[in-house]
Structure 1
Amino acid sequence: MKRAFFYLLGVSCGLFISPQLFAQQSTDSLLTSATLQECIRYAISHQPVIRQSLIDEAITDRTVKSKLADWYPQINLDYNIQHALKIPTTIFNGNPVQQGVANSSAALFGLNQNIFTRDLLLATNTARDVRKQSQQTTTRNQIDLVASVSKAYYDVLLTAEQIKVLSEDITRLERSLKDANNQYASGVVDKTDAKRATISLNNARAQQKAARELLTAKQAYLKELMGYPTNSGDVPLAQDSAAVASQVSGEDTLLTADYKSRIEYQLLQTQESLLQANVKYNKWSYLPTVSAFINYSFSCLSPDFNKLYSQDYPSSMLGLKLSLPIFQGGKRVHNIRMAELQLQRTQWDYAALRSQINSQYVQAMSTYKSNYNDYLTLKENVQMARDVYDMLQLQYKEGIKTYLDVLVSETELRSAQLNFYNSMYQVLSSRIDLQKALGTLTANY
Structure 2
Amino acid sequence: MKKYLLVILTFFLSQAGLKAQEMAELTLNDAILYAIENNVNAKNARLELLISKATVKETTAQGLPQVNGAFNLDFNPRIPVAFFPNEPPFGDPTNPSDVIPVRFGVSYTSGLAVNFSQMIFDGSFFVGLRAAQTLKQLTEYDLNKTENDVIENVKKAYFGVLVNEVRISLAEANLSRIDSLLKETQALNEAGFAEKIDVSRIQVQRNNTFTQLERAKTSWQVSKELLKLQMGLPVEMEIFVSENLRELNPQEELVRLLAEEGQNRIELDQLNTQLELTQLDLKNNTVQYMPTIDFVGNIRRNGAGNEFGTVFDGNNWFGSSLLGVSMNIPIFDGLSKSARIQKNRVQINQLENQRFFLKESFKNEIFTARANLKNDLNILEVQTENLKLAQEVYDIARIKYQEGVGSNLEVVQADSDLIEAEFNYLSALYDGLISKVNLEKALGLLKADLTN
* Correspondence for 2:291: 288
Q: In the alignment, is residue 26 of structure 1 matched against residue 16 of structure 2?
A: yes
2:32 to 37, 40, 51: 40
Deviation at 1:376?
Answer: 0.9
Give the TM-score of the pair, scaled to structure 2: 0.86
Aligned counterpart for 1:262 among listed residues 265, 274, 288: 265
Partner deviation per Cα, 1:353-399 (whole Å, 9 max, x = no partner): 12322332333233222222111110111222222323333333333
Distance in 1, Cα, partners of 2:202 & 2:42: 52
In the alignment, is residue 201 of structure 1 matched against residue 206 of structure 2? yes
Distance 1:267 1:28, change over 3 A: farther
**Aligned partners of 2:271 and 2:355 also within 8 Å:** yes
SS of the equivalent of 1:142 reads helix
Say whether residues 1:239 and 2:243 are aligned partners: yes
Correspondence for 1:118 among 110, 115, 123: 123
Alpha-carbon distance in 2 for matches of 1:31, 1:72 = 56
Out of 276, 281, 286, the position equivalent to 1:278 is 281
Contact 1:35 1:238 in 2 (8 A): yes
Tell me, yes or no, if structure 1 residue 298 matches structure 2 residue 301.
yes
Letter in 2 for 1:282: N
What's the offset of the Cα at 1:188?
3.2
Secondary structure at the residue paired with 1:217?
Answer: helix
Other-structure match for 1:106: 111
Contact 2:124 2:288 in 1 (8 A): no
2: CA distance, partners of 1:228 / 1:24: 12
What is the identity, as a one-letter code, of the residue corresponding to 2:245?
S
Check if 1:392 corresponds to 2:397.
Answer: yes
C-alpha spacing 1:408/1:251, structure 2 compared with 1 (3 Å): farther
| Separation in structure 2 between the aligned mates of residue 238 and residue 302 of structure 1, nearest angstrom | 85
The percentage of counterpart residues that share the same residue type is 26
> Would you say how many aligned residue pairs link Structure 1 and Structure 2?
421
Match of 1:173 among 171, 175, 178: 178
CA deviation vs aligned residue, 1:264-320 (integer Å, no higher than 9, x gap): 111011111112222221221122212212210000011121011112110111222
Aligned pairs for 1:65-76 within 5 A = 65-76=57-68
The answer for the alignment partner of 1:345 in structure 2 is 350
AA aligned to 1:292 is F
Which amino acid in the other structure matches residue 241 of structure 1? L
Distance 1:372 1:380 in 2: 12
Q: 2:363 corresponds to which residue? A: 358
User: What does residue 63 of structure 1 align with?
Assistant: 55
> How far, CA to CA, are the matches of 1:386 and 1:148 in structure 2?
34
The answer for unaligned runs of 5 or more in structure 2 is 1-11, 85-89, 92-99
Runs of 4+ in 1 over 6 A off after TM superposition: 28-31
2:46 counterpart residue number: 54
2:292 counterpart of 1:310 = no
Q: CA RMSD in A?
A: 2.4
**SS of structure 2 residue aligned to 1:327:** coil
Distance of 1:171 and 1:328 partners within structure 2: 84
CA 252–156 in structure 1, closer or farther in 2 if over 3 Å, else same? same
CA contact (8 A) 2:112 2:300 kept: yes
Amino acid at match of 2:41: V
- The C-alpha deviation readout for 1:120-158, integer Å capped at 9, x for no partner, is 212322232111111111221221222122112111211
Relative to the length of structure 1, the TM-score reads 0.88
SS of aligned partner of 1:151: helix
| Contact 1:382-1:420 at 8 Å conserved across structures | yes
For residues 57 and 23 of structure 2, what CA distance do their matches in structure 1 show?
39
Question: Are 2:158 and 1:159 equivalent residues in the alignment?
Answer: no
2:266 and 2:37 map into 1 onto residues whose CA distance is 20
Report the CA distance between 1:439 and its aligned residue: 1.8
Pair 402,74 (structure 1): closer, same or farther in 2 beyond 3 Å? same
